[in-house]
Amino acid sequence: SKAAGADVIGIDLGTTNSCVSVMEGK
């Protein structure tokens, strides 16, 4: 369950970072 939770958190952080990068890029 810890691994699954880490994957979900990693995906959330990755998505957030990508969105922030796109917003800053514009």
pLDDT of residue 18: 73
16 Cβ contact partners less than 8 Å away, ≥ 6 residues apart: none
Query: CA dihedral defined by 14, 18, 16, 6, rounded to 10 degrees?
Result: 0
pLDDT of residue 5: 64
pLDDT digits (tens, 9 = 90+) for 1-26: 566 666 666 667 767 777 677 777 76
Q: Is the pTM of this model over 0.95?
A: no
pLDDT of residue 13: 73
Q: What is the total count of domains within the chain?
A: 1
Q: Residue 12 is part of which domain span?
A: 1-26
